[in-house]
Amino acid sequence: MITEQQHDQLQAKLKDLPREPGVYFHKDTSGAIIYVGKAAVLRNRVRQYFQKSKTTNKGRDVKTDVLVNEIADTDWMVVESEIEALFLEAEMIRRYMPKYNILLRDDKAMSYIRIDYDSDYPTVSTSRRPLDDGARYFGPYPSLTSVRVALKLLRRIFPYATRQLAGQKRATLQYHLGLDPGLEEGRTTIEDYRANLRRLIAYIEGKRVTIIRELEKDMKAAARAQDFERAAAVRNQLTALNNLNKQVIFSDKEFMDISKDHALNELVELLGLEKFPQRIEGYDISHMSGTDVVASMVVFTNGASDKAEYRKFKTKKDRNNDFYNMHETLSRRLSEKNIKAWGKPSLVLVDGGKGQLDAAIRARDAAVKTSSGARNEALKSVRDAGPLGEDGEVIAVPSCIDIPMIGLAKREEQIVIKNGFSNVTLNQEYLHKLGGFSSQSEDFTLVNLPHNTNLVKLLQRIRDESHRFAISYHNVLARKKQTSSMLDEIPGIGPATRKKLLKTFGSMKGISEASPTELAICLGDAKAKVVKAYIEPLKN
């Protein structure tokens, strides 16, 4: 509860709000950041939260009012332009994960900047979902429209290509407008283009001052070398950068309804969960007829994908049995070591039906018995050594007994619940409210919901991400295995040489395309001749 003193201090602080663009941080009584937002004019935007007029509050929902009632303090960071505020807001939300930034939890509201920096023809575009395609992704950002406007402005300063046209040999119209590097005609070298992209990336990452210093240095160097055309081009870049503060990106029309993602609310109500699932983990198995069996663990923190927490597993034995593979994966995940390292999931979503879910629950129950045994042993050792602490209990291992688990069957997108599973209780009344129905067998309940409900979309999002991550890891192992097996057959080429070849040339294709001189530099003349003699027939 906010005290009268905190209220008075906050009101006094609001009088000092600047009129510049920036990012603001609402905090609760404990000092924790509960909401991060951006503003074209900090003074106008932040004070809107505390205005009492009916007109101001007309479009606000209940959760926004709850947020306002929790705000005990507000801080802010001033930036040069709205475009910097846009990028800074996304960074601060990723860093602090404020509980009221629910707007970022819906994939439809999330967007990313994709820069294919390492390709032979680098491009810059936007995407709704990052892929494992070797490109660099920046985000997520709440508004795709704002991101596109920002990129359009930045393209005038750091020209980039948006796509490669098949058969294109002449520079596009975009080049003549100063928006494209003109790689087709060699108007810009790939090295200079990548240097330009590095500055674009640096700006997105908030390194504006560093970029300006570099450009000023380049301009002076070009002037000293009497390369006045280059100096004028850099000068124009500097002018455009400094003029970004005059560009309108989002103005003060920020979206006030911060409870758009109702999926977590529906999840809690439907399954009778005790609290909102802060950490949802999704699991999937991928293999080819029981070979190269892998499993994925994707993590959604507060409803948003948290790629830093993703993990992948290679099963100890290759088996064409998804139930066995799921059991092994969850057993390893819920081991004492990994519970301590990664924490406990609030909810586990298994990609599959009754068999996969049953295997996961059996793994969880086995982990509960193991942790209980460890706890009892710890408790016994303390008792033998002396008196207990004030609470009379010692917990050696975090218990897994309260982890809810559900499955999502692919064919009908049915939510699978195991009967008698104390942590999940289906709310039939709420199920009918959502327009769904259920069917029950002796051991399981299958829940059917309309596919357009928020909850189904959330579960599909997690399931699809776990499926994508598992397949990508499986493909990596399969390619490595194929490459290694081909190199294994070359006489005189051992593990160290194979590793050196792959590290130098990246793949079997790279090795086959290497010239005799490149192979000789890597391996020496004798081994290079052996490798080339073996690979040439395969290449043909």
Say how far apart CA 237 and CA 109 lie, in whole Å.
Answer: 32
* Among the listed residues 2, 154, 125, the one whose alpha carbon sits nearest the alpha carbon of residue 67: 2
Contacts of residue 210, Cβ cutoff 8 Å, sequence gap at least 6: 202
Say how far apart CA 499 and CA 56 lie, in whole Å.
Answer: 65
pLDDT at 56 (0 to 100): 45
Average pLDDT on 65-92 reads 83
Tell me: pLDDT of 477 over 60: yes
Average pLDDT on 103-130 reads 75
Q: Pick 377 or 65 by higher pLDDT.
A: 65
Buried b / exposed e along 232-255 (16+ C-beta atoms within 10 A): eebbebbeebeebeeeebbeeebe
CB 21 within 8 A of CB 40: yes
Query: What would the pLDDT profile of 257-310 be if each residue is shown by its tens digit?
Result: 323 345 787 888 899 988 888 889 999 988 777 677 888 999 887 776 777 788
Tell me: pLDDT of 405 over 90: yes
What residue has token string 């039939």?
428
Task: Give phi and psi for 381, each to the nearest 5.
Answer: -65, -35
Dmax over CA atoms of the chain, in Å, equals: 85
Start-to-end CA distance of the chain, whole Å, equals 76
Say how far apart CA 405 and CA 359 lie, in whole Å.
Answer: 11
Tell me: pLDDT of 166 over 50: yes
Q: Pick 226 or 93 by higher pLDDT.
A: 226
Range with the poorest average pLDDT among 106-110, 381-385, 463-467, 491-495: 381-385
Query: In a 3-state reduction of DSSP, which class is residue 419?
Result: coil
Q: Pick 432 or 102 by higher pLDDT.
A: 432
Q: Which domains does the chain have, with CATH numbers?
A: 1-258 (no CATH), 263-471 (3.30.420.340), 489-539 (1.10.150.20)
pLDDT at 432 (0 to 100): 92
Contacts of residue 453, Cβ cutoff 8 Å, sequence gap at least 6: 266, 434, 435, 436
Tell me: pLDDT of 332 over 80: yes
Contacts of residue 406, Cβ cutoff 8 Å, sequence gap at least 6: 271, 347, 348, 349, 350, 357, 415, 416, 417, 424
Tell me: pLDDT of 365 over 70: yes
Query: What would the pLDDT profile of 117-162 be if each residue is shown by its tens digit?
Result: 888 889 999 887 777 777 888 877 777 777 888 888 888 888 898 8
Tell me: pLDDT of 377 over 80: no
Q: Pick 184 or 335 by higher pLDDT.
A: 335
Give the model's confidence band at 486: pLDDT under 50 very low, under 70 low, under 90 confident, else very high: low
Share of the chain above pLDDT 70, in %: 82
Instruction: Measure Cα distances from 357 to 13, 51, 324, 456 in Å.
Output: 53, 50, 11, 18
Say how far apart CA 299 and CA 458 lie, in whole Å.
Answer: 13
Whole-structure pTM over 0.95, yes or no?
Answer: no
Query: What would the pLDDT profile of 8-55 be if each residue is shown by its tens digit?
Result: 888 888 888 988 888 898 988 887 888 888 888 888 888 888 876 444
pLDDT at 399 (0 to 100): 64
* Among the listed residues 91, 101, 42, the one whose alpha carbon sits nearest the alpha carbon of residue 67: 101
Query: What would the pLDDT profile of 298-320 be if each residue is shown by its tens digit?
Result: 988 777 677 778 898 988 887 88
**Alpha helices of 19-167 — where are they, by DSSP H?**
42-48, 54-57, 62-70, 82-96, 144-157
Query: In a 3-state reduction of DSSP, which class is residue 188?
Result: coil
Q: Which long-range contacts (CB under 8 A, 24 or more apart) does 52-61 make?
A: 59/256, 59/257, 60/256, 60/257, 61/257, 61/258, 61/259
Say how far apart CA 127 and CA 144 lie, in whole Å.
Answer: 9
Average pLDDT on 357-385 reads 66
